[in-house]
Structure formats: C-alpha cells, structure tokens
Amino acid sequence: MRRKAVQIATGVLAAIGLCATSAQAQGYSVYEHDACAMGRAGVGVASPCSGGSAIFFNPAGIVTGQAGKWNVSSGVTMIPPRGSFVPDGGGTATDLVNNNIPVPNIYVTRQIGSRFAVGVGMFAPYGLTTEWPTTSPGRFLSYEATIKGIYIQPTVAFRVNPRIQVGAGIDIVRSAVDLKQRVDLSSQTFPGTPYTFGTLPQTSVPAGTDFADARMHGTGTAYAAHFGIIFRPTDALSLGARYMMGTTIEGAGYAGFTQVATGLRLLGPLSATLPTGTPIDAIVAGQFTTGGRMVTQTVTAEIPMPSQLVAGFDLRVMTGLHLMADVQLTNWSAFAQLPLTLGVIGPDTLYEDYVNTVGFRTAIEYAVTPKLNVRGGFLMHGAAAPDHTVTPLLPEAARKEVVIGAGYQLTGGIRIDAAYQIIKQSDRRGRVVDWKPGDGDVNTGVYKFSANLLGVGASFAF
C-alpha cells in the first residue's frame, strides 16, 4: 500500500514547478516562446528577434539603440500532441487523448537612451501535459497530467560598446499542477490485514484491478536568473551566449483519493467477521475515511530545475540573408532523484536518473522585401530520460524537428509573425509499471509520439 500510494504522489510532485507541455524539447523543457524565433527553429542567442523575446533567448539582445522606444510583443503556440502506446506482442494500441494546448508568451521592453534597456517577460521553459484513457495500461502511473505555470523575468541590458552587449534577468517561477492516476488493489497491503490482496485465493483480485482514483494538486515557487552576452567581431558576424541558472522548486500540495467499485467478493473466508461472499469493496472502504491510509493528505517535495547553456552565431552571407546556429547543453543530470513526503504515508524517493543532453539548431532567414522575412530551420537532440524512465507521464525520446516561418512589417511599428513546426520523435520502449533500483528491465511496449505546432505573434513598437 505504501509503495503504490507514494507512486501516485510522486508523479504530481515531480511536476510541481513545471509548465506547458511535453510536446517540445529534451526532457520536459519548452522552447517555442516566440513565433519569430520559432520560425528559426529556436535559434536566436547571437541575434535575437526584434521583439522582446530576447528576454528569454538572450537578455543582452533587448538593447536596440532606438532611444525612448517601447516594445510590446505577445503570441501563442498551439501544441496538439499525438501518440500511442503499443504493448509487446502486437496487442491493442492505446492512443493519447487528442488535445490542443495553447502556450502563451508576452514581453515588454523599454529603451532608455541608446545603450540601456529594461523589460519583463512571461514564458514557460519547463513542463508537460499528457492525457490517456482511464483504461490505459499505464493508468497506475498516470492517465492525466496538466501542469500550468509561468516564469516572470525582469531584465536589464547594457551596450558596453558598439561590439558588445550584456544582459541579465531574475526568473520568478510560479506553477501549479494536477495529476490523476488509478490505484491497483492487487498489490495492496493495509494495516490490520497482513496479506496482499492479489496473493490469496480467497480474495480473487487479479492484477490491474482499479479500486481508487487519485487526484493530486500542488503549487511551488522558486527563483533563478538569466545571463547573456552578444559580441559582434565584424559587421557580418554576431556571436552570443546565454546561461539560465538551475533552481529547485520547493513544492507543496495534497493528494485526494476516491474509491472505485470493483464488484468483487471473497471466494473464501478470511476470518470469522469476513466470511465467504463478503464484498471486497466493503473491506477496503475504511481506508478512505478518517484513520485510513487513503485520506486526503499533504505532499511536499524538492524538485530540481536544470540549468541551460546556449551558444551560437549569426552570419550575414549577403544583404538580407542570414545563416545561424545554436548549440544547447541542458544539465538534466540534476533530475536524478525526487525525495518526497506524504502527510500520512511518510517519505519515499522516486528514481529518474536523467542524463545531460546536447541539442543542435540551425536556421536560415531571408528578407524577401524590406517588409517580408521568410525563415526555416532544423533541430535535433537526444533523450534526457534513460530507458527505465520512459513512462506515460513523459514518454520522451530523441527528436528531429523541421520548421518554417515568416514575418511581415504591417506598419512602422507593427510586425506579425507565424511559424509551423513538425516534430518527429523516435519510437521508444517504455514501461507502464513502477520501477526502483534492482528491478531490471520492466519495459513492456513502445511509445510513439508526434506533433505539428503552429505559432503566431505580434509585436508593437512605439
């Protein structure tokens, strides 16, 4: 009982502080925070887009040299994750529930003189959203996870000289999460009943018997920082780098449990007070009331948020034509273990064992006319999750992504941008049951995933 209930709480606390969707990048990170940058496959550390999204992609880039100018930009990326789990042996596939998830962003910057700028941005660099049918094989780990949250980043930037700009910002992270899971009765041992329900012939509880629906909710706040630099050694070449500090979310929430009827009865007596034919639902009902183990209870945990280091270049090949590329290192090894404590059940640890990842992004942008820019790019990266951590909560794998986009200057101060991105994720074997060190390979099927993203945005300068 203790282990299974801890599993339920672990999933949600692992997600406290994470936000948006699993349809994006390594692990549970998200990189589509601006339609202009999205059209470049996320490349932008050496030469950010002219809207305020430089606050995320490189804080140094918010200095434009246009004294007294305000810029307000906002956009949304629509993410429709599609996927399935196919069990070994050619069994029936289970599809993700179709969703269309909006991920918004907004930035405001102000130029003060020609060398100084300030701004604030709101975006979501980490998170996930997955939803499976309540009958899915992995429902005892997760059948629905919805995490919502934002990073708010006040930013300052300074042009040191015509060739060098620097910038920095403080990240204020606020997030909330809901997770739903089922609990399997066959592996439960309750206080006062020193047997496991699935091991006695009298109980007749087959593996995979739902007897509780668990809903978890949690919130967390943390702080981090961004730093960036842009160096232009020549008029045609720009180099850039940014670093986003890692942080730890100290999450707090609650776990609530609702009994699910099994309709099962004892096939043989367990005691004088539990004769043959006693409804098993009546035997376990006390666990959902005061004094039981499956009552509403608090959950606390500390969850690491990885640091990011990005470096890249932007080369102007000819007038209006730019080639650019970024490389990104994400410190996913910080996501190794998740210690947590439940108010009734007590402490436990979830093992994730993520590994650091390197991602590569390349892009091209061409000014067709003074008002119209077209863009395209390609990105690829490996998986942060090891084989034993691929689950319905986050069925992650290596990805290759292609994107196209365009921007149009409607007036002197208004620009609109759009981008379309195709994500192809490698098929990945994964599990639908719990895992702990020493369990060996518990993967029993293949997760498939893909998504086509649409991003739109507008920028207003005045």
Domain limits of the chain? 2-461
The 10s digit of each residue's pLDDT in 349-375 is 878 888 999 999 999 999 999 999 999
Q: What is the predicted pLDDT for the residue at 305?
A: 81
The 10s digit of each residue's pLDDT in 29-65 is 788 999 999 999 999 999 999 889 999 999 999 998 7
User: Residue 213 is encoded by which pair of tokens?
Assistant: 């629906």
Whether 459 and 73 have beta carbons less than 8 Å apart is answered as: yes
How many residues in total does the chain contain? 462
Which has the minimum average pLDDT: 192-196, 261-265, 361-365, 393-397? Answer: 192-196
The 10s digit of each residue's pLDDT in 78-115 is 988 899 999 998 789 999 998 888 889 999 999 998 89
Whether 308 and 330 have beta carbons less than 8 Å apart is answered as: yes
Q: What class does CATH assign to 2-461?
A: mainly beta
The 10s digit of each residue's pLDDT in 280-318 is 999 899 889 988 888 999 988 887 888 999 999 999 999
Average pLDDT, the chain: 87
Q: What is the pTM of this model?
A: 0.86
Residue in this structure with the two tokens 């060098």, named with its chain if needed: 164
Going by the DSSP 8-state scheme, the letter that residue 28 receives in this structure is T
Q: What is the predicted pLDDT for the residue at 349?
A: 80
101 Cβ contact partners less than 8 Å away, ≥ 6 residues apart: 20, 21, 23, 78, 79, 80, 81, 129
d(CA 149, CA 15): 11
Band (pLDDT 50/70/90 cuts) for residue 264 is: very high
User: Residue 436 is encoded by which pair of tokens?
Assistant: 């702990």
391 Cβ contact partners less than 8 Å away, ≥ 6 residues apart: 138, 141, 142, 430, 431, 432
Band (pLDDT 50/70/90 cuts) for residue 148 is: confident
Using alpha carbons, select from 200, 170, 166, 167 the residue that is nearest to residue 186: 200
Q: Rounded to the nearest 5°, which phi and psi values hold at 284?
A: -95, -5
> How are beta strands 94-95 and 82-87 bridged, if at all?
antiparallel
Check whether 3 has a pLDDT greater than 50. Answer: no
Band (pLDDT 50/70/90 cuts) for residue 194 is: low
d(CA 7, CA 381): 29
Check whether 1 has a pLDDT greater than 50. Answer: no
Q: What is the predicted pLDDT for the residue at 147?
A: 74
Going by the DSSP 8-state scheme, the letter that residue 412 receives in this structure is S
Element (H, E) at 165: strand 164-184
The CA R_g of the chain, rounded to the nearest whole Å, is 25
User: Beta-carbon neighbour count of residue 318 at 10 Å?
Assistant: 8
Q: What is the predicted pLDDT for the residue at 205?
A: 87
Q: What is the predicted pLDDT for the residue at 14?
A: 34
Check whether 448 has a pLDDT greater than 80. Answer: yes
Whether 199 and 167 have beta carbons less than 8 Å apart is answered as: no
Give residue 169's Cα distance to chain centre.
22
Q: What is the predicted pLDDT for the residue at 198?
A: 74
Q: Region 166-188: what's the mean pLDDT?
A: 90
Check whether 190 has a pLDDT greater than 80. Answer: no
